[in-house]
Structure 1
Amino acid sequence: MRYTAAEVLGQVSHARRYLRAQGVRPGQRVLVAVPVGPALVAALLALLALGAIAVLPPAGAGWLTRLRLPGLAGATAAVVASRPRLARRWLARRLGVRLLTVPGAELARPGHAAPLPTWEPAPVPSDQSALISHSSGSTTGRTKPIFRTHAVLAAQHAALQRAFPPWPGQRDFPLFPNILLHNLALPGGVCSVLPAVPWRYVPAFDPARVAAQLVSERIETLTGNVTYFRRLLPALRPLPASALGHVRAVGIGGSPVPEALAQALRTVFSGADLVIIYGSSEAEPIATRRLTAAPTDPRRGYCVGMPAAGVELDLLATGRQIVLPDGRSQAVGEVRVRGAHVAQPAGASPEAWLATGDFGYLEAATGALWLTARRGNTAVVGGCQHYLLEHVAQQVPGVGRVGARPTESGFRVWVEGTDPAVLPAVLAALTTAFPALRGHLQLQLQARLPVDGRHHAKIRYDQLG
């Protein structure tokens, strides 16, 4: 189905009138339990226009989890797309949450737009929360609320616009819902084409169908995560170069991106600008790296490129040092950021530094940021931290996800898969890259490595083994 801008605005106006009639008021927290699509856009923008605070659950969260989210504290209403089953309605009543079913017919069919709205958005303080999302919990397994004020949302929109300037008539293919909302706020008529994926569990999508969309819809820009592009790549490789010649830019992020995957995408999208996007739940983007023909050296870590304009970046000293391939010692610290588009915890000063949980260093010659470890897994053994090993191992043909944790004298390395024949090649690559670890590596094959529930790409190091 296709929707014009007028139809989208009409749907937002319709949802706003309904929610206002149901008693939703400025400053009220409202859970949004609506699948990705037109109804989600209408519900979110209607709540923002009312001055209410939209609360988004983490991807894949069950009904009980949604109603008990930390960011939902004090909420008395939830927007749903259809009337839930009796058990869910009973549970919501027990927890004091009123369910509001946004009328679906008007929100599901194009050509049924209400007249263009004449109302003005409700005035609210710029430091009031507009949107509360939740982290993936990839480090601890516990999700945390991310508070985005109206000022932060506007600044994040401006930061994305600076990093990726749009053009009139641009046809975008966004996997991330925040990019869809960003597109709707852009001038010049950017068209968003939603990928044909099961939004409840994106990794189950049909690669051939999505590849066909890219061709038939003449997509010019697309974004996605590592799991998405890994699954899509085999369906793209047989296509002639001309089939994807209209693609001008590809962004990949959400988790560390293996260099081999990045270079493979650069080959498939030969006429496009390939960009690695580094950010966090609180700040997007923090840094970007535009790929070139020369791959980066994974022995140095994971290169995420130059810090984004408008964000201050600092490394909190840890006293740890890794050894670079040329034998020099390199101090590593925790990446901290602050700036207008950084969402701070509730009650924190806008000037406070936000710790990302990522560790790394800034390359002296270029100013590029390299990541070397994740919080909870930062020990240095043999001059290495775990990202160095993982990115070297993922260069081995046939190797997908890799996770590493330090032992007393080396590292234990988990390789995802079922073919033990890859282990000798991985061991050879690691001992060649890091001679100090020779004899101190333990390799283990595991059918599936534990990952986060949002991007399905971030290793859950707390669950390895």
Structure 2
Amino acid sequence: MPSLRRARGAGCHCLGLGRPRRGRVDRGAVRPVGFSLRWQRFLQADRTRGLHRALRADPAGDRSPSRAVRSPRPAARRLPLRNSRQAAGGAALDRHHQDLRQRPARRRPHARRRRPPRIPRSRLQRGDPCADARRQPLERTQRPPQRDGIPPIRPDGPRARYAPMNVVAAFEAEAARRTHQTAIVDGQGRAITFGDLAARCNLLAAAWRARGIGRGDRVLVAMGLGIDLYVAMAAAWRIGAVVVFPEPAMGLAGLRHAARTTMPKAFLAAGFYRLLGIALPELRGLTLKLTPHDRGAGNDEISAVEATDAALISFTSGSTGSPKAIMRSHGFLATQNARVADLVRPTREGEVDLVAFPVFVVANLALGVTSVLPNWNVRKHDGANVASIAAHIRRHGITRVLVPPSICERLANLEAPPPLSTIFTGGGPVFPALLERLALKLPGADVVVVYGSTEAEPIAHLHARDVRDEDRIAMQQGAGLLAGAPISEIHIRLEHDEILVTGEHVNKGYLDPRHDAANKRLIDGAIWHRTGDAGRIDSLGRLWLLGRHEARVGTLYPFPVEVAAMSWPGVRRAALIGVAGCGVLAIEGDGRHRHEWQARADCLGDLVVRQIDAIPLDRRHRSKVDYAMLSKKLK
């Protein structure tokens, strides 16, 4: 029996096509039909189709070379077999085609994916915002592990693999265990259980998925701090979308800045905020408008995303310049929640928290702790009604509070504050006088001061009971502000008195890479974040804050002078600032002690005391001095 290669050659020769051309066949090349092996096989099959039909019709027929096989085609198209060699070749070709029919079907090659437009490297290095926005589709396929500091789970080769996860999975697990426990109570007293919150999240995620929201899509949120906000955030994370949360303290300016910076796909709003989609020019082009009251059908599964997939884009307070966009991944949020949980995890069941910080509400949902939202305007903490806050605490049985120092000031002014087991405060400097007043009014409460920033939260914490008498004396004499011991999961270093931090829960880069050059440092292969705060480490390993590094006046940092001045008689607030090259200590308080203030200021340095009616504070927590506004006010 002739070999298959010989049979192919004989078959082709007997059909008048000639022998196939040897060598590789380039599928992508354009060749004449006669020189393409694929076309030769096609013509072979076409010309022998009649022969095959005849053989199937008469299996026992005579195949001798002397008899021509009758084809069902017209007589003029008959294919005679002239000699035994051609007959043998035709039979071998017939068997070859029969073998091909018995083989499994060959899979068609997948269609080539359309690649995003290439962005010039020069524009990426300059940090062009338009280039960053066009780079958004690349985030689904190109996820550098060093962006959020999440190392690959199995770095097996050039394309590292990541374990699927979702930050909302921890909340779903707690909701299954605590179905009937209250999860969130809003400022008006409306409550929702963990089970109902998970059910609403499921329906909302199904509705948004049906409308085209999927993994990596950015959703700009414009809603008040209420139950609907956290339902919407959990629903967006459930389907893998990215929540864009503008800075609330900036109002409409913050919303417009977020829209320009992130270029979202959809706009999520409730109530009168929905009108902003028409009123603001940055939002008119968004045709996909979502509400927290959308309802879908069916059970929506949690999307398994990678640890480096973006989950949240928030903004800094803008107290030191333009608000910077920070992108947090699912892995980063899970790590941050774990660090916050180490700090706020309750020691007993039944704790109810009054929470003014959204990051702690998210952590409480994963811990299964009930969160009560503020009943005051969070944009004006210093104008909150303290009697209403006390009634809010008693009405809902609140045992712990997580509030900024400005709210702690009002609680300390109450004659009979409600009983509390723990007070967490942060977002601004907490001076020793406030800690003493809280300890006097709430002797059984554990007061915890948390130091951190938007990029790294938390960094250090301090229990008021751990402040020694010598620490209080040192702060009154100009040693700075004690922030406590750094947490074990963070690394701190000082460069020219500036505090630099790194760790798994420290953000490694901003959405706009132009901000990285001024706020990030690459040291020994690790990315360090420049907090902008000056500090020092004492012999016990505790961190002392000296104030903003750029706010130094000569050799004096703000906090050593301000903390000392806060212990003087008649001083409600103090701020050190440079005016025309001179150090000015602005004091808000009783002017009858002005001469004593100047005498004490002379002991700290070459300072001029100026009394002021009100020192401007930051817009977010109303606890930090707004030095830019103060400079304009003094000038």
Report the TM-score when normalising by structure 1. Answer: 0.84
Are residues 386 and 200 of structure 1, via their aligned partners in 2, closer, same or farther at CA, if it must alter by over 3 Å? Answer: closer
Name 1:456's counterpart in structure 2: 622
Name 1:372's counterpart in structure 2: 546
Give the C-alpha shift of residue 357 in structure 1: 0.5
Give the C-alpha shift of residue 22 in structure 1: 2.8
Name 2:79's counterpart in structure 1: none
Structure 1 unaligned blocks of 5 or more: 107-113, 319-332
Name 1:327's counterpart in structure 2: none
Alignment of 1:47-196 (within 5 A): 47-69=236-258, 72-82=261-271, 84=273, 88-92=277-281, 96-98=285-287, 100-104=289-293, 118-140=299-321, 142-166=322-346, 167-186=348-367, 189-196=368-375
User: Comparing 344-353 with 176-185, which one deviates more in the overlay?
Assistant: 344-353
Query: Are the counterparts in 2 of residues 76 and 97 from structure 1 also a CA contact under 8 Å?
Result: yes
- Give the counterpart letter for 1:339 in structure 2: G
Give the C-alpha shift of residue 123 in structure 1: 2.1
- Give the counterpart letter for 1:38 in structure 2: I
- Give the counterpart letter for 1:427 in structure 2: Q
Give the C-alpha shift of residue 360 in structure 1: 0.9
Alignment of 1:261-410 (within 5 A): 261-292=434-465, 294=468, 296=472, 297-298=474-475, 299-316=478-495, 318=496, 333-346=497-510, 351-364=526-539, 366-381=540-555, 384-406=556-578
Give the C-alpha shift of residue 310 in structure 1: 0.7
- Give the counterpart letter for 1:199 in structure 2: V
Find the aligned partners of 1:11 and 1:72 in 2 and give their Cα distance. 30
Give the C-alpha shift of residue 404 in structure 1: 0.3
Q: Aligned pairs, how many?
A: 424
Give the C-alpha shift of residue 249 in structure 1: 1.4
Pairwise CA RMSD of aligned residues?
2.6
Name 2:380's counterpart in structure 1: 201
Find the aligned partners of 1:149 and 1:423 in 2 and give their Cα distance. 52
Alignment of 1:28-39 (within 5 A): 28-39=217-228
Find the aligned partners of 2:291 and 2:580 in 1 and give their Cα distance. 56
Name 1:224's counterpart in structure 2: 403
- Give the counterpart letter for 2:412 in structure 1: L
Query: Are the counterparts in 2 of residues 276 and 290 from structure 1 also a CA contact under 8 Å?
Result: yes
1:376 is paired with a residue whose SS is: helix
Give the C-alpha shift of residue 380 in structure 1: 4.3
Are residues 270 and 212 of structure 1, via their aligned partners in 2, closer, same or farther at CA, if it must alter by over 3 Å? Answer: same
- CA deviations on 1:179-201 (whole Å, 9 max, x unpaired) are 11110111xx4111223112343
Give the C-alpha shift of residue 20 in structure 1: 2.1
Give the C-alpha shift of residue 338 in structure 1: 0.8
Structure 2 unaligned blocks of 5 or more: 1-189, 517-521
Give the C-alpha shift of residue 410 in structure 1: 6.1
Name 1:234's counterpart in structure 2: 413
Q: Which has the higher contact order (CA 8 A, sep 6+)?
A: 1
User: Comparing 204-213 with 287-296, which one deviates more in the overlay?
Assistant: 287-296
Structure 1 residue 411 corresponds to structure 2 residue 577: no
Give the C-alpha shift of residue 268 in structure 1: 1.8
Query: Are the counterparts in 1 of residues 204 and 293 from structure 2 also a CA contact under 8 Å?
Result: no
Find the aligned partners of 2:569 and 2:200 in 1 and give their Cα distance. 49
- Give the counterpart letter for 1:135 in structure 2: T
1:430 is paired with a residue whose SS is: helix
2:387 is paired with a residue whose SS is: helix
Give the C-alpha shift of residue 21 in structure 1: 2.9
Q: Between Structure 1 and Structure 2, whose CA radius of gyration is higher?
A: 2
Are residues 133 and 85 of structure 1, via their aligned partners in 2, closer, same or farther at CA, if it must alter by over 3 Å? Answer: closer
More strand per residue: 1
Give the C-alpha shift of residue 66 in structure 1: 0.7
Structure 1 residue 430 corresponds to structure 2 residue 430: no
Query: Are the counterparts in 2 of residues 80 and 99 from structure 1 also a CA contact under 8 Å?
Result: no
Are residues 451 and 303 of structure 1, via their aligned partners in 2, closer, same or farther at CA, if it must alter by over 3 Å? Answer: same
Find the aligned partners of 2:386 and 2:356 in 1 and give their Cα distance. 14
Find the aligned partners of 2:437 and 2:283 in 1 and give their Cα distance. 52
